[in-house]
Amino acid sequence: MREMLTGGELDYLTGDYLAELTMLILGRDKMKNPERGFAKTFLIQLEDCLGLAHDRGVRIVANAGGLNPAGLADAVRALAERLGIPAKVAHVEGDDLLPRSAELGFAGVLTANAYLGAWGIVDCLNAG
């Protein structure tokens, strides 16, 4: 993250933290603790770079929320507050199909998620 923030002019920094295997790992993590289910590595990277991103006016977009986007958003807010960095944090939900898994014919799975596209992200960015 730091390399990208210092490598040139940026308006947005995006990060892809999820893959199918990652979703499995996050699912197991969330089973152990319902407050988890997001990519903790993102928080580690963000702790090192949030001030730099803020100073440069770079907006960060990541899918690191995984199975708990609200939990990651809360953790980012807490991190920003602890670091004394003003940050606007938003998250997108709606991809979790697990509550409908039986209805959709795949009961008993650990996770079930759908790709939503970028519309929710665009809405968050437009909202500031």
Per-residue pLDDT reduced to its tens digit, 45-57: 999 999 999 999 9
Q: Which domain holds residue 67?
A: 2-92
CA atoms of 110 and 81, how far apart (whole Å): 33
Residue 74, in any domain of the structure: yes
Residue 123, in any domain of the structure: no
Pair of tokens at residue 78:
């807490």
How many domains does the structure of the chain reveal? 1
Beta carbons within 10 angstroms of residue 116's beta carbon: 12
pTM: 0.90
Residue 109, in any domain of the structure: no
Question: Does position 63 have pLDDT exceeding 90, yes or no?
Answer: yes
SS3 at position 15 = strand
Residue 18, in any domain of the structure: yes
Looking at residue 53, what DSSP letter applies?
A: H
